[in-house]
Each structure stands twice: as structure tokens, then as C-alpha cells.
Structure 1
Amino acid sequence: MSLRHAQDMHSHVQQLAHSLLHELQLTRGAALSTDDVEAMLRSLTQGANAAIIDVARQYNATTSSVNHIPVEVVCNILSWLTFDQRIVASHVCHHWRAIAVDSPRLWNRLDFRRRNLELAGVLLSRSKDTPLVLRVRNVAALPRLDCLRNHISHTQFLDLDTAACDQEDLLASLSTSAPMLRSLRFFRCSSSFRLPDRLFDLNAPLLHDIAMHHDVLPVGPTPALSAVRVLVCESISSPETLAARLGQLPSIDSLVFSFGDTFSVSQLTTKLRFPSFRRLEITECPSDANVQTMLPLLSHQDVSCIVLTAPRTQTTLDVILQPLARIEFMALRIRRRGLTADFALYGNGRKRAFLCVAHDLAMRYLTNASFAHLVTLIIHEGFWPTQAALPLAPALLHLTVALTSSAQHITAHRLRRPLSPGIFFLERGRAFVTPLLQTVCLTCRLETKSQPLVVSASDVADFVTSALLTPIARPPRLVLRNVTLLEPAGSSEIRSLGHRVSSIAIDTRTHDEDELPSLLRPATNVIFGDNTY
């Protein structure tokens, strides 16, 4: 039933009411019996009731299909909606509202802010005993947050981003048992604050991830932290504190921290043993001296992944690389022209390093580098120095260049200009020594799915050829993801590209599937779908 029809029916009921009033006014002076008045009222009432019943019947006819949607389907629909949309959808009908209120899994991921803090108690009660993911952002604790304490027992992830004093008050009261808690994150506590000694009443067997701004862990042993495996601390003030934390967390295998202003790595000795870390990340090093002292120590440890941010000199970079000669994974983050490029290098070594360095420093390093164990090279954003000799990579099997789809890139490619600035390093005569290359991938991270990167087939063919400085036994496989070709099917550029590769895999989101077979002949083994190497 349309809104217009409903309004018409409502007007009809109003007219009946006015008619009843008018009849009563006309008969006020007439000598009518009580039976006559009752009969008149009964007739008018029946007419009004008939109109109301007709409105209800038409309304039910329009909502009956909604009311009969299975509970599981309604729950799935509501689960895909945002918080505000879910509230609106729950008012479609009584059936949907009952399902929304009685489905705890729809209320187990709650993000409390100022605008919805008043609903904290109601929403938490709807979650019943399901595992909770709670985030409290930019709100004052106030008495309303007292209800959080009553639900800590079934909270899995707790992320607090509130004012420091309110956050500390809440954390200080977390003595309730937390048998399901896995992650605790808080970042605004003062440096003088300390977590309570009896954190979670010493019962948090699944707590494995703690993130904080200052080091606010208790000084003594804390059994509640015995299972913690990941510690993120934005500032550790001294080597003694670092050693104490490692001793407090017997299960730790990932540590992310930055040196405080007073931290001196020179005070560390080789006696400091790091656990068998999966990942060690040191950010915002205040001096190269700290890095140079730290890396030789790390070379004696069983650390599989090291992350350092912004070493400032070539000497520091050399010191970093010395204990990591057999590189398995390395990434150089290069900042240039306001963009960030990640050079990810994979090899078959045991140790891994992830380095974030300045642009000119990375260029000097790459100029003189030789990667004997390099198997896969992934270049994000495609920045590479034209003035540098590209590295020797005799074991390289896979080469990927990832571009960003932007109006500038798309326009340049549509004008048949070279792939510059995206992959300007692929000039003729400037390539890798890659006799074993198996896969060449050109991929694009789309800003919108409707705008794939448009490239010329001849440019792609040059891209493939430029990667092959020495003859190889078999042409490589070409992978194009989120990239579309400029030339029409059957063009000489398409045929030339097909002769230079053994197979082509193209993401069908950017191509007509019926057009692909003719587009890619004579290439063999054409693969449809979202395929990667």
C-alpha cells in the first residue's frame, strides 16, 4: 500500500468522525429517543471500523512477506548493516525488532562514542554471554561505563581510547576475572600510572596481546600476563625496563617498541637474551648509535623478523645488513614525491629483516647490491632509480610491479606514453640478470573498481622484455591484475605480446570474458578469474 493510499484512508476516517459530530449537532434540538441515537452512533462507528479494518488489511498484505522471512536470513541481513542502520532496520516491523533484540551476535562488536554512550547498558545487555569486541573512543568514563566491568568476563578484545584519567580509573577497577580476554589496548595513560597488581584477579589465561603508550605494567610478577605473546609499547625508558619486561612475559614472541629519550643501547650486553621472537620491531630510533649497538646483539638471537625505522646513514645500513647476509625477506620503504614505495625482497635465508630507510640511502644500497638468494621481488609503486645499475638476481623467479590507479597514470597510458612514472626503471638495456624468471606480474591497486589501469600492449611487452636481460629457456607467465589493455583484439601489439609470454592470467573484473580468447591469441593456457602467481 502506498503512502498516498494510507493518507486517503486516514482522511476517510476523519470525515466519518466529522459527520458523526455534525449529525449530533443537528439532532440536539430534535426529540429523538435513546434507541435512535444509539442506532445512529452504531451505524457511524461500524463505518469507521470498516475503514480502519481495510487500512489494516492492506498494511498487513504489504508486510506479510517481510514477517515471514526466516530468522537466520534476517540475522544475516542485519549483520551486514552499520550500527545506525541496524537500529533503523529493527523498526521495520515487530518481527524484525524481536529478532534484532534477541540475537546476541548482532551486538557483540560495539564501538562506544559520545553519541551512543547512553545506550551502553542496553546494548551490552543484548550481547548476553557472547564474546565481546569493545572499543571505547573519545568519551568520558562517567558512571555509564560502570556497566563495562560487568561484562569483562565475556570480553575478547578491549580497546580504550579515552581521556587518561578516565581510562586509568577504568583499568584500575579491572579486577574481575577475564577468562575470554585476548587483547587489551590502551594508549593515553600517564607515565606514573601502573596496572593493578591483581589485574583481572590473576585470571586471564587467553590474554596474548597488550598495547600501550607508556610502560605501565606492574613491577613484580603478574600471573595474569603469563600467556602474553605480543607486547606493543610506544616508549621503553631503559635497558633495565626492557630486560624486566622480557622476564615478566615468558611466552612473548613479538615485541614492538620505541626507545625513550633516555634509552641507551650501549648499556645492553650480549647477556641480554631475547626469546625466540617471530617479530621484533624497533621504531623511532633516536640515534644511529643505538641501531649500530643493537643489531650485533640481535645477530646472536633467534629473531626471524626485524623491523627498524629510519636509519640515517649508510654506515648504519651497512651495520644492519652485516648480520643478515642471507636475506629471506627485506623491504625498503622509500619516500619520494609525497608517496611511499615498499621494496620487498624475498630470499631463501632463515633470518628476515624489514628496513625502513630514507630514499637516497636506499638508492645507494640498491646500486651496489647483489642478491644471490633472491627468489621473489615485489616493487610497490614501482619507484626505481634510473641512475643506478639494477641488482644481479640470478635466482629470481617472480617479478611483480604494483602501480596505483590515478587519473595521471590512466591519462598517460591512454596517450600511449611509456609506463613512466610508474615503472620508469624498465628502460631498454636496464634490467635484471634473471635466467630463471618464471612469472612477471603487473598489478594495480584500484582507487575505484570502475577505473582499471589502462596500458598499451606494446608497453607491457616492453615491460616483459626489459625484465629479461639474458636468454631464458621458457618465456615467463604474465599476470595482469586490475589492468586493461588499450589496443583492440587482433592488433599487432596484442599478437606481439602473446608471442613473448607462455601464458597470460587476467583478472576478469576488468575484461569481457568472451573477448579474452581472441584478445590473447596466440598465448596459450589463458586463465580466467582473479589469478595471481
Structure 2
Amino acid sequence: MSEPQSKMPEEQEEEFVVPEDLAKAFEELSEQFAQEVAKDCKTHAELAFATADMMDCVAGYVNYAMSLAAREMNRESTDLSTNPPPDIFAHVCDYLTLEERITVTHVCHYWRDLAVADARLWNHIVQNFHDSTGARELLERSRNTPVHLELTVFDSNAKAVAVYITEHLHHVKTLVLRLSDGRSGHPSQDAWTTISYALAYPAPVLQTLYINMLRSPYRSMNTEAFCALRPDFLAGDAPELRSVSLGGIAPPTTNDLIAPFGHVTTLTYAHHNSSPFNGGNLVQLVNNFPRLENIALSAQQFVDDGTQPIKLRNLRVVDSTVNQGAEACLRRIGYEDVDLVAVRLNFHDNANTVPIVLEHTRAEKLSATLSEVAVLARDENNNPHERRFFSLGIEAIKSLLDGPDVFRYLQTLLIHEFMWPQSGTFPPAPGLRELTVLLPTVAEHRSWAMGNNHHHPMMGGMGMGMNVNDEPQGMVTLFQLPTELPAPWNCASLREFRLVYGTWAKAEAPAPAEPNAPTTRTISAADLFDFVQTHLATALPLGRIELQGVELYEAVHDIPALRGLQANCAEFVVSPSGPDPTPQQTGLWDTYYTRARTQDRRRRP
């Protein structure tokens, strides 16, 4: 009897083999994905989108397999598609959304037992409705694993939410609380009081905290008057907390600092009060965050009350959405030594004034489009700085392009064709090496001509390239500028000139893009040759002229203009439309928004 018993373990240790049809399906998917990446992906962003698509495709395979298994379920079956091993089942569920995992638990008892037994599958919980029983059940399934908990708090469920926050706060990794409007049309003071007491317990694994008072953008409210953090917030015990976002929540008015904020590196603060945000409020806020590296401020108005500038020695990123008084707010923070400053403005609130200037810096790269102006510069100690402006008005962009200080050390310039000055020349740019000119879409052209819909249609001082009523369909006439210039543009170091058009431009347009827009633009070689000879004369011969997404109307003929272009450069290239040439991301920009952006809701983190 002992001999068969000794063989039992050997008989149970069967090697798991993936079914051939499943292995073949995923091999084909992998090969197809590799081909698409090699063909279409030119940047990291495109690779990320392609990877997400592939993961969605995998989820589709899984959903299909599970639907078949649900129809053919047989508890005695040995088919791996209906009775998968626990480790394989958990791996498959890892690619499903929370709603899909809940559906899986209703297929059969076997699947439910496997799913509920794995606490990792229930660590991303979202509840946006009044009934909070589902969130509580999912929290119990997660046991003590770190969870992402996202809740909307109403008057009706505030007490229930407070109870299970108190019970499970010790293993919450990310906490998102949105307090909805009460019966009065404003967030309830009673609901906030209930939640604030629930947040008076330790949170040893909490890394990200988001608390926001939901409100209508057309209605101001003074939630800061009654929604303030308690001095015993998180019982002073949240050693892993690094990112905090507060909307309509004020720090305590006492001099006692909130201990859990001592290690926070990223702060997002939105001032909802109808009264202006002032220097005293700013000092009171940042005193609780001595180790800040990234700060994002949002307020309708900032009033300078004469407080001294705040020096945060670790500060690297400032993101400002202060519509009025933005420059004063940035100066209180001491933006001059900050690596990255992003300024977002409202068209109706002084959008035609650049809120900060490039003081004590040398601008090396300038990208000016209707949606964003980006400047890369270096300070007196040769440290790199980045400045980004969103939703600037036409006059603000014009004044920036007219400034000689910006062009003095400029090496790279990217602009729209219609931004070329009507006088024919920019300020001297003796160090300019690369010039990129973007051809306009209909939406961009109209927005510039109409001054972003609130300027006089005939703007003085800037060449529009075409009449207001002209639409750049078919062949485009370039640079309708004076043929005789006072003096050629001083750009003797220019080596590369690119003329670019692409379908990516439609997505960035501030107005609806034109229907059935062509993927290329057709121009006259004679127009381009005249522009190069007249306005870039000091830089001839160029090292490279490139037309990207642009076709020459006379390219099929042997014409003098085409021969002239080829004679005035070492390399003449006509290429199809490629990726967006504007500097959408830098390392610092990408790092900040990777941290600040809300995590992907499609799959668990």
C-alpha cells in the first residue's frame, strides 16, 4: 500500500501545456503587433497607443473565450477554457475592467470562487452613485491589499462612506473623494464634517490623495469657508503620501502644520472661493508642503498683498491656471529658478498679455502655434528652463514674436505660415539653425484671421498669408509679403528649412477641422523659391530644404524655380506627412504629467 502512495505526488505533478490553438492565436497577434509597430510607430506616444490597442485586442479574445465557456460550462469538464487553473485565471482577469470581473463572478460557482479568492483583482474600486454597498463589498474582497478607492460622496451616503473609509483606510493606496452638490446646490457642510472625521485615522500606505468639491463652472461658492482640513488629518501618520490634490478645500487656519504633508512632492490646488486668492493664502498653503517639487494652482483671480516671495528649494514645476494676476502669483512663488512653468489662460481674461517674460534667460527653441507656445531656454548658469503658454491670444503671440530678446540666442523656430510678419522679417536671429513653417488648416487660418473670434478680422502688423475669406484648399499661395524688404532677415547661420503639413494639425486646431481635408498641400515652386531667395538670402546656400506632407505644383516639369531651389541647398527632400514636429513633450514635461495624470481606468494599476 505504501508504494502507490509514494507515486501519488508524482502523478499530481503534471506539466501545464498551453493549448496549441491558443498559443497560435497569440503568436499571430504578436506578429501582427510587431508589424504594425514597425510600420506606423515613430514616437514613444504612438508606441503607447499601439500597445493599448493590442491590450484591448487581448481583452477581446478573453471576453470571447469566457462567453463561450459560460455557454458550455460543465463542472466535470477538463477543458482549460472552462476550468482554467487558478494562476492562469487570475492572469486572464488581470486584463478585464472592474465591470467585466464582476460579470465573471456570475458565470458559475467555480469562476466566482477563483475570482473572489484573488484579492488583487479587487484593488481598483470606483463608485459614482448613491448606493455605496457595492464599494463596501469590493473593499472586503480586497482584504488587506493596497487599493485604489474612488468615491463620490452625496448627502445620502456620507455616513456609510465614512464608515468603510474608517475601516479600510489602513490599506488604501490611492484615495479619490468627490463631494457632490447637496440640496442647496452647494456641497453639504454636514457631509464634509462626516468625511473629515473619517479621515482622522492613520493611512500607512496612502500615496495619492484627491479631494474635490464638485461645482458648476458657472457658479462660484465659498466652500473654503467651511471645508477646511482638521489639524489631526490622517492622525499625522501617512509616511508614503507624495501627491495631494485639493479643490475647494482649505488648509487649517491655525499655525499647526499638517504632518502628513511633510513629504508630499506634488500639489494641485484649486481655489473655489469667490473672493480672490492672495499672497497670505498662498503662504498658508505652501507652508504645509516644505518638500514640494511640482505645484499646480488654479484660481479666478490672484491679488498681490505685498507678501515676500516664497522660496521652495526643491520646486521644479509650476502649472498656473490663474486667469487674473497670473504674473503676480508666479512671482510670489519665485518662478525664475523653476525648471518648467506652464501658464494656462482664459481667452476672456487678459489672454493677450504674456504673464511672464523670459528674464535672465537665453531662449534657444521657440514653438508658436495657436494652441500652445513653448520656449526652451537657459539661465545665466546654463541651466535649462522650459516655459509653456496655453490659450494665448493673438496679440500676445504677436508681441512674443516681435521681441528681439527672444530671437537673440534662438537656435530653433517653429511657426505657422500666417504668423510671418507683414514687414517681411523677424528680429535678427544670428544663431538660428532650424526653421520649420507649418501650413495652415482652414480652422487655424480662420482663427488667426478672426483673432480667436473676438478680434477685428483685419489685424495690422502680421501677415495672414491669405485673405480672410480664402480657404487653403488645393494649391496654396505662400507668404504674400512685400517683395522688396528694407533689409534681408539676419539669419546667416540657418542650415535647415522645413515646410510641413500633416493631418495631426487638425486635432490641435482650436476650431472644428474642415471636412474631407486633404492629407497633403500643393504649393507653387516659384512661390517657395521667391521666399527662400528674398527672405532667407543671408543664409544661402542652405544645408537642407525639406517639404513634409507638401507637394510642388510644378514638380513634374523641369522649371527654373525647382532648379533654383535645388541649387540653393545641399539637400532637397520631398517626404510624406510625418509625426507632429512641435515639441509636445520633453523629459520634464512627460515626467510631471505622468505623475499628475489620473491612472488608467481601463485596467487595474
TM-score normalised by length of structure 2: 0.57
Question: Where do residues 238-387 of structure 1 align in structure 2 (5 Å cutoff)?
Answer: 238-258=278-298, 264-269=303-308, 272-287=310-325, 291=327, 295=331, 298=334, 302-310=337-345, 312=350, 317=354, 320-321=356-357, 323-327=359-363, 340-349=370-379, 350=383, 351-356=385-390, 357-369=392-404, 370-378=406-414, 384=419, 387=422
Q: 1:101 to 1:242 in 2, by over 3 A?
A: same
Q: Is the 8 A contact 2:502 2:519 kept in 1?
A: no
Which residue type is aligned with residue 85 of structure 1? Answer: E
- Within 1, Cα distance between the matches of 2:146 and 2:422? 56
- CA gap of 1:178–1:466, structure 2 versus 1, over 3 A, is farther
2:250 corresponds to which residue? 216
* Deviations 1:437-467 (CA, angstroms, capped at 9, x unpaired): 458465543769xx99611475799889968
Residue 277 of structure 1 deviates from its aligned partner by 1.8
5 Å-filtered alignment, 1:112-511, equals 112-114=127-129, 117-137=132-152, 139-140=154-155, 141-145=157-161, 146-163=163-180, 164-165=187-188, 166-188=191-213, 189-218=223-252, 219=254, 220-235=256-271, 237-258=277-298, 264-269=303-308, 272-287=310-325, 291=327, 295=331, 298=334, 302-310=337-345, 312=350, 317=354, 320-321=356-357, 323-327=359-363, 340-349=370-379, 350=383, 351-356=385-390, 357-369=392-404, 370-378=406-414, 384=419, 387=422, 389-390=425-426, 392-398=428-434, 416-418=474-476, 433=491, 435-438=493-496, 440=498, 442-445=501-504, 454-456=519-521, 469=536, 470-472=539-541, 474-475=543-544, 501=571
1-structure distance, mates of 2:113, 2:430: 65
Instruction: For 2:307, give the aligned amino acid.
Output: L
SS in 2 for 1:250: coil
1:202-251 per-residue CA deviation (whole Å, 9 max, x = no partner) reads: 11112122222335212312221101122222227432232233333211
User: 2:116 aligns to what?
Assistant: 101
Bigger-Rg structure (1/2): 1
Whole-Å separation in 1 of the counterparts to 2:337 and 2:84: 57
Cα separation, 1, equivalents of 2:110 and 2:550: 48
Say if 1:192 and 1:59 are closer, same or farther in 2 by CA, change over 3 A. Answer: closer
Per the TM alignment, residue 152 of structure 1 is displaced from its structure 2 partner at its CA by 1.9
Q: Does the Cα contact within 8 Å between 2:303 and 2:328 map onto a contact in 1?
A: no
SS at match of 2:81: helix
Q: Distance in 2 between matches of 1:74 and 1:346?
A: 49
Q: Please give the alpha-carbon distance, in whole angstroms, between the structure 2 residues aligned to 1:70 and 1:458.
A: 63
Amino acid at match of 2:394: H
> What residue identity is the alignment partner of 2:160?
R
Helix, strand or coil: the match of 1:195? coil
Deviations 1:120-160 (A, max 9, x none): 11212222333322222364534432223322222222221
Across the two proteins, how many residue pairs are aligned to each other? 431
Distance (whole Å) between structure 2 residues aligned to residue 460 and residue 143 of structure 1: 72
Structure 1, 342-351 or 430-439: larger mean CA deviation: 430-439
Q: Secondary structure at the match of 1:85?
A: helix
**CA-to-partner distance for each residue in 1:184-206, whole Å, 9 max, x for gaps?**
12121542222121221211112
8 Å contact from structure 1 (residues 375, 398) kept in 2: yes
Q: CA deviation at 1:309?
A: 4.3
Pair 400,174 (structure 1): closer, same or farther in 2 beyond 3 Å? farther
| Aligned counterparts of 1:434 and 1:71: Cα–Cα separation in 2 | 69
Matched position secondary structure for 1:245? helix
Contact map agreement 1:324 1:353 (CA 8 A) in 2: no
The letter of the residue matching 2:296 is: V
- Shift in alpha-carbon separation, 1:210–1:400, aligned structure 2, 3 A: farther
- Residues 412-439 of structure 1 show CA distances to partners (whole Å, capped at 9, x for unaligned) of 999633299xxx7999999994744458
8 Å contact from structure 2 (residues 294, 317) kept in 1: yes
Change beyond 3 A, Cα 1:73–1:59: closer
Distance 2:139 2:421 in 1: 58
Evaluate the alpha carbon distance shift between residue 59 and residue 75 of structure 1 in structure 2; reply closer, same or farther with a 3 A threshold. closer
Partners in 2 of 1:177 and 1:250 — Cα distance? 21
Rounded to whole Å, the distance in 2 between the matches of 1:57 and 1:275 is 62
- Code of the residue aligned with 1:177 in structure 2: it is P
Paired residues of 2:434 and 2:494 also in contact (CA < 8 A): no
The change in CA–CA distance for 1:343 and 1:282 in structure 2 (over 3 A counts) is closer
**What is aligned with 1:110?**
125
Q: How far apart, in 2, do the equivalents of 1:313 and 1:408 lie?
A: 18
Question: What letter corresponds to residue 147 of structure 1 in structure 2?
Answer: Y
| Change in 2 beyond 3 A, CA 1:474/1:291 | closer
SS in 2 for 1:454: coil
- Judging changes above 3 Å, is the alpha-carbon distance between structure 1 residues 185 and 67 closer, same or farther for their aligned structure 2 residues? same
Residue equivalent to 1:82? 97
Q: Is the 1:159–1:184 contact (alpha carbons within 8 Å) kept by the matching residues of 2?
A: yes
Show structure 1 runs of 5+ residues with no match.
1-55, 335-339, 510-533
Write the letter of the residue equivalent to 2:147. L
Structure 2 counterpart SS, 1:212:
strand
Q: Which runs of 5+ in 2 are unaligned?
A: 1-69, 181-186, 214-222, 446-469, 508-512, 580-605
Aligned to 1:44: none
What secondary structure, in the 3-state scheme, does the structure 2 residue paired with 1:269 have?
A: coil
Rounded Cα–Cα distance in structure 2 between residues aligned with 1:214 and 1:492: 66
Question: CA contact under 8 A between 2:496 and 2:542: conserved in structure 1?
Answer: no
Instruction: Summarize deviations over 1:342-365 as a string: whole Å, max 9, x none.
Output: 122334444433334322232233
Checking the alignment, whether the CA contact within 8 Å between 1:405 and 1:444 is kept in structure 2 is no
> In structure 2, what residue type is equivalent to 1:126?
R
TM-score (norm: length of structure 1)? 0.63
